[in-house]
Amino acid sequence: MNELKKLYKIAGIATIMIVILIPVQIFIYGMYPPPNSPKGFFELFNENWFLGLLSLDLLYIVNNTLIIFVYLGLYAALKKTNLEYMTIALVIRFIGIASYYSSTVIFEMKALSQQYMDASSTEIKEQIISSGNLLLLRYNGTAFDIYYILNALTLIISSRVMLMDDTFSKKTAIWGLIAGGLMIIPSSAGMLGLVLSLVSLMPWVVFSILIAKRFFKLDKMNE
């Protein structure tokens, strides 16, 4: 049981850290909207490289690393209820996270920004901008959409399993289902996707706080 105790505690801490990161990400996005062109990113990296990293979702990379421990905690807590569903949820979540990592272009853009600033001719700069355009297409492309949809499906499956027993409250499961339903359309899918992604934050935060509290209680129960 000591292994589970450690896992539940780590999952609880990771969940709280994710909740804390959400307003930080919103603040940064609101105060410093990301550029909408490769040249804008190159200039931003030249002026403030750390803000450039944040504008290309550095904190979201941290978030997706932390969420691995959250879903490991959910798997440990719910596998006795429905091993098949929780195994499917865990596998597709990890596939989704891997897809997200493959969509990130944060350090590639930083490297291109330096090449752009060092370029000796307009022709070379135009070539670098073209490379930047390709990176931004990848950033908002297929891999990201796969990640987003698999994330929603994982949340829906896990929340559905929560309804099958009393490890987590029914209220927790309902908040998870609402959040998962709102997340089914990727945030990159135009204005609708952006609006739904913002609306989904409220039920996701409530769900996260509720599961964090439960993780800490499970940690105490395994002492």
pTM of this structure = 0.89
Provide the token pair at 5: 């105790």
Structure tokens at 122: 């307009």
Amino acid at 83: L
Number of domains in the chain: 1
With CA atoms as reference, report the closest residue to 178 among 192, 163, 166.
163
- DSSP for 107-166 reads HHHHHHHHHHHH--SHHHHHHHHHHHHHHHHHHTSHHHHHHHHHHHHHHHHHHHHHTTSS
pLDDT of residue 49: 93
* Secondary structure class of 223 (helix, strand, coil): coil
Please, are residues 194 and 187 in contact by the beta-carbon 8 Å criterion? yes
Q: Is 123 exposed, middle or buried (0-12, 13-18, 19+ CB in 10 A)?
A: exposed
Predicted confidence at residue 47, as pLDDT, reads 92
pLDDT at 1 over 70: no
How much is the average pLDDT of 40-60? 93
Structural domain boundaries, residue 102 = 2-221
Q: Is the pLDDT of residue 5 over 80?
A: no
For range 68-94, the mean pLDDT: 95
Q: How far apart are CA 107 and CA 53, in angstroms?
A: 8
Q: Mean pLDDT over all residues of the chain?
A: 91
- Say whether pLDDT at 146 is over 60: yes
